[in-house]
Amino acid sequence: MKKHILCHHISEYEIQFFDVDSMDIMWHGHYVKYLEMARCAFLEEIHYTYDVMKKQGYAWPIVQLNVKYIRPTLFRQKICIELSLLEYESSIRMDYVIRDALSGKKLTTASTTQVAVEIASGEMQFQTPACWRSAVENHPSFKTEQIS
């Protein structure tokens, strides 16, 4: 079954020396940092950064993270992270595909789920705030209808 992608964003990065092990392979824990960088680039693009979230009174903790390592990512390798927003009304669910920027080969797949937590009360919200939904819906790539 094909996933319904609501929004799409692509970021490019070069793997830095401080992220690799003695074999010049990116250490598995650093992939999360690159996912976060791609997520922050998307949030910047929709003008709903973590600063805005905080001002609106919400924190957005990660409640689930999945990573599948397919091929090693190497020092100085240029990568492309394709982010797809799959859910935005009850949580923030994103899928990621990390590819080699030159060949397009798939290196890693991942997904994250975040939930809104009202900072004042500490209570998880079962529906995301209207300010978040509005930011997503105003993104140029937003699609409400599933494309087959």
Q: Quote the percentage of the chain above a pLDDT of 90.
A: 90
Beta partners for residue 112, in sequence order: 65, 94
Which CATH code for domain 7-138?
3.10.129.10
Cα–Cα distance for residue pair 26/73, rounded to 1 Å: 6
Domain locations in the chain as residue ranges: 7-138
Other CB atoms within a 10 A radius of the CB of residue 113 amount to: 17
Mean local confidence (pLDDT), 28-39: 97
State which amino acid sits at residue 58: Y
88-105 burial, b at 16+ Cβ within 10 Å, e below that, comes to beebbbbbbbbbbbeeee
pLDDT tens string 44-59: 999 999 999 999 999 9
| DSSP result, 6-18 | SEEEEEEEE--GG
Other CB atoms within a 10 A radius of the CB of residue 62 amount to: 14
pLDDT tens string 90-147: 999 999 999 999 999 999 999 999 999 999 999 999 999 999 999 999 988 888 755 4
pLDDT at 38 over 90: yes
Cα–Cα distance for residue pair 57/5, rounded to 1 Å: 27
How confident is the model at residue 146, as a pLDDT? 54
Q: Judge if pTM exceeds 0.85.
A: yes
Query: Which parts of the chain are beta strand (E)?
Result: 7-14, 58-59, 62-69, 78-87, 92-100, 106-114, 117-118
